[in-house]
Amino acid sequence: MSAFPTQAQVVIIGGGVGGASIAYHLTKMGWKDVVIVEKHELTSGSTWHSAGLVGQMRSDANLTRMMHYSTDLYRSLKAETGQDTSWREVGGLRLASSFERMEENRRLVGMARSFGVPMEMISAKEAQDMFPLMDIKGVVGAAYTPNDGSIDPTGLTNALAIGAKNRGAQILLYTTVTGINLKNGRVHEVVTDKGTIKTEIVVNASGMWGREIGKMVGLSLPVIPMAHLYILTKPIEGVTNKFPNLRDPDLLVYWREEVGGLVTGGYERQPATFGLNGIPKDFKYQLLNPDWDRFTPLMENSIRRVPAVENAEVKMLLNGPEGFTPDGEFLLGPTSVKGFWVACAFCAHGLAGAGGIGKVMAEWIIDGSPEWDMW
Ligand SMILES: Cc1cc2nc3c(=O)[nH]c(=O)nc-3n(C[C@H](O)[C@H](O)[C@H](O)COP(=O)(O)OP(=O)(O)OC[C@H]3O[C@@H](n4cnc5c(N)ncnc54)[C@H](O)[C@@H]3O)c2cc1C
């Protein structure tokens, strides 16, 4: 076992998919003296219970570029690291159930194609041919992305961590960051329950704990933990592993195939916060109580678009927390405290975003600015 490092070029707080990807990319760009500090095990925060969808279409060109980069990376990670990630390139459909949404889809497809994402507009019938259990009543058309996919969140995180370790990164598990000392207004030391690490750069990749870590340097970061819900069904007749991921933004619901059944969840109009007065101290690999009352509107919308969900046997209703920001986008970049960087609150699309997030953060830290404009 390696000795506890007393100094490092960069300390990353958090061993979820975000922290692992940042370490992967920093080491890929040549920095070796990189340490991840994780209070439990890799993925034990929000990452392990992710629904596994990797979609590329976002409302902003550079966010779409980040997701596109992620898919390219995820396709190649197993060959590079030997770690299976269960990457499945099943494609993705984004329905338009209104003319306004259709316009939006057209605009986003045009934008994404301009930098090489192979998206195309298809008819409602063509979408149904790919996902035959879908009721296309009210569907005007769809955007189709053939290289969207799904991935095992634990496999992905482990692969990124292996890549980082192979290039020199050190990962400290069961090590809790308890403080960050500043000197002359900039990051100087990270204090943990196992010892202190001298460093000039700290990356706060602690997900929904982002606000708590921010307080250690006197910052009030806009990170709010929220509960996110999805169900996993037993096999449903007619579902095959050829089904693309499906999203209906007008109904706020998504679906993806899993062992002959469906994962279906979505975004609530009245989401529930979690741990606003502090996340319970030993919160690891934990879920919140299944909340059928809150899930009911999503379930109704899911059934509306995919009627077979109504009679499907539900294996579980998963209720898991994750960090969100007020604008629903990632919190990334430098802060007013010199040497203190943030990469947290991934708003329920951090699995898809992690590849791009790692690249952007590594370029920003090493080169001073990322390839793509993040403002
Ligand atoms: C139910 C659900 C479904 C989702 N489905 C999808 C999906 O289909 N597709 C998608 O793209 N995204 C999805 N997401 C989002 C995705 O899972 C998250 O965005 C991502 O996993 C967050 O990763 P992270 O590294 O930021 O956080 P985490 O995985 O939470 O990692 C942060 C780590 O920091 C550690 N930490 C905290 N405080 C300290 C400390 N003081 N010292 C040391 N370590 C510390 C924690 O232990 C934790 O392991 C989903 C989220 C939820 C909740």
Q: Is 14 in the pocket of ligand 1 (CB under 6 A)?
A: yes
Q: Is 152 in the pocket of ligand 1 (CB under 6 A)?
A: no
Q: Is 344 in the pocket of ligand 1 (CB under 6 A)?
A: yes
Q: What CA–CA distance (Å, rounded) separates 263 from 230?
A: 7
CA 291 from chain centre, in angstroms, equals 22
In the predicted structure, residue 1 carries a pLDDT above the cut 70: no
Ligand 1 pocket test, candidate residues 70, 87, 191, 209, most atoms within 8 A of CB = 209
CB 185 within 8 A of CB 338: yes
In the predicted structure, residue 370 carries a pLDDT above the cut 80: yes
Q: Is 320 in the pocket of ligand 1 (CB under 6 A)?
A: yes
Q: In a 10 Å sphere around its CB, with 0-12 CB exposed, 13-18 middle and 19+ buried, how is residue 39 labelled?
A: buried
- Ligand 1 centroid, distance to 345 Cα (angstroms): 8
Query: What's the CATH number for 1-90+147-223+325-375?
Result: 3.50.50.60
CATH 3.30.70.2860, domain 91-144+224-322, yes or no: no
Q: What CA–CA distance (Å, rounded) separates 87 from 296?
A: 30
Q: Is 279 in the pocket of ligand 1 (CB under 6 A)?
A: no
Which token pair is 60?
């902003």
- Ligand 1 centroid, distance to 47 Cα (angstroms): 4
Read off the pLDDT of residues 211-248 as tens digits, 9 standing for 90 and up.
999 999 999 999 999 999 999 999 999 999 999 999 99
For the chain, give every domain's residue range: 1-90+147-223+325-375, 91-144+224-322
Q: Which strands sit side by side in the sheet containing 314-324, from one edge to the other?
A: 120-122, 141-145, 92-96, 245-248, 253-258, 261-266, 224-233, 314-324
Read off the pLDDT of residues 311-356 as tens digits, 9 standing for 90 and up.
999 999 999 999 999 999 999 999 999 999 999 999 999 999 999 9
- Ligand 1 centroid, distance to 50 Cα (angstroms): 8
Read off the pLDDT of residues 106-131 as tens digits, 9 standing for 90 and up.
999 999 999 999 999 999 999 999 99
Average pLDDT for the chain: 97
